[in-house]
Amino acid sequence: MKRASVDAALCVSCGMCADVCPEVFSLGESHRANGGPVPEAALAAALDAMADCPVGAIALSTNDED
């Protein structure tokens, strides 16, 4: 399963990723976004969020052991 990560140093807390793909992204207590495992059904939305993040803070990685 792919995993989304957010670079907290870049995130500007706009909330877009959590709006576009709430299955994967949420805003933490610091209001920086948190990523997590990306279910297959949420992959397209996660890719949209990654592409649209205004500061390029989102990355997707693959862990074949998941």
Site residues for ligand SF4 per CB under 6 A? 6, 11-17, 33, 53-55, 57-58
Using alpha carbons, select from 8, 3, 2 the residue that is nearest to residue 57: 8
Q: CB of residue 28 vs ligand SF4: minimum separation in angstroms?
A: 10
Q: CB of residue 39 vs ligand SF4: minimum separation in angstroms?
A: 18
For residues 62 and 60, what is the distance between their CA atoms, to the nearest angstrom? 7
| 39 vs 56 by CB, closer to ligand SF4 | 56
DSSP-derived secondary structure letter, 51: H
Instruction: Supply φ then ψ for residue 43, to 5 degrees.
Output: -65, -45
| 1 vs 8 by CB, closer to ligand SF4 | 8
